[in-house]
Amino acid sequence: MGVEGGMKCIKYLVFFFNFIFWLCGIALIALGIFVQIELRNTLVMTGPASASAAPIVILAVGVIVFFISFFGCCGAMKENYCMVTTFAVLLTLIFLVEIAAAIAGYIFKDKIQGVINEEVQEELNNYNSSKVNPLDTLQKKYSCCGVSNYTDWFSVPQFKPGRVPSSCCKNNTECSNHPTHDNVNEEGCVTKIEAWLRKHIVIVAAVALGIAFFEILGIIFACCLMKGIRSGYE
């Protein structure tokens, strides 16, 4: 026996929320691919694990959300108690994991900044002017120079005394041999990267809060539908 009355409305609400989750899953998969490309092109991570961790997590969550939402849609339309229950349990677990990830991100935010500093410094120390260097791409894109400021290059043997790579120059001017306040980007790349991260973390946090709100509603409606389906069997 199918659900009746108000439970019909709950059934379609569960289906609607699952459709939204399905779209969110696709968006997270696309975001994970974008972050992977962005990290490789700009953040100059020397260790492959550190460069891939964030996008892999985003991709994994996107795939999981995609399949859970599909599972929930089928359960709601077929009024299958087992499938709806499984959906509610899995969605609750995802919600708890997201909370744990948010707490961990807040706790380790200073460590992440330290890792960025160390890896940009490592890239600077191993700079090779004879080939295309990712640090040049980073400095051009963010209009930055060095780790903390442009004088960091003065400690690199091939740039002694007082020289910088051409990627540090403002507006395509030539400043390599005589960098001054007028022709070189003075701000360090670590500062620029941290500003970039803060800006995008705020956006991600806002999106995550929105998704979390819909997840709570989805869990509540799924529980209501479970109760309605169970009542229909009795």
Q: What is the pLDDT of residues 12-32, one digit of tens each?
A: 777 887 788 788 778 778 877
Q: Which of 43-52, 61-70, 160-169 bottoms out in mean pLDDT, i.e. has the lowest?
A: 43-52
CA atoms of 156 and 50, how far apart (whole Å): 25
- The whole-number average pLDDT for the span 191-220 is 78
For residue 224, count other CB atoms closer than 10 A to its CB: 19
Confidence of residue 178 (pLDDT cuts 50, 70, 90): confident
Confidence of residue 234 (pLDDT cuts 50, 70, 90): very low
Judge whether 28 and 61 are in contact, CB under 8 Å.
Answer: yes
Judge whether 67 and 93 are in contact, CB under 8 Å.
Answer: no
- Locus of tokens 């780790």: 147
CA atoms of 46 and 84, how far apart (whole Å): 45
Q: For position 140, what pLDDT does the model report?
A: 87
Three-state secondary structure string covering 76-105: HHHCCHHHHHHHHHHHHHHHHHHHHHHHHH
Residue 31's SS3 state is: helix
* Count of residues in the chain: 234
Chain-centroid distance, C-alpha 157 = 36
- The whole-number average pLDDT for the span 194-217 is 76
pTM for this predicted structure: 0.62
Judge whether 232 and 3 are in contact, CB under 8 Å.
Answer: yes
Average pLDDT, the chain: 77
Question: Quick one: which of 193, 190, 169 has its CA closest to 179?
Answer: 169
Judge whether 66 and 31 are in contact, CB under 8 Å.
Answer: no
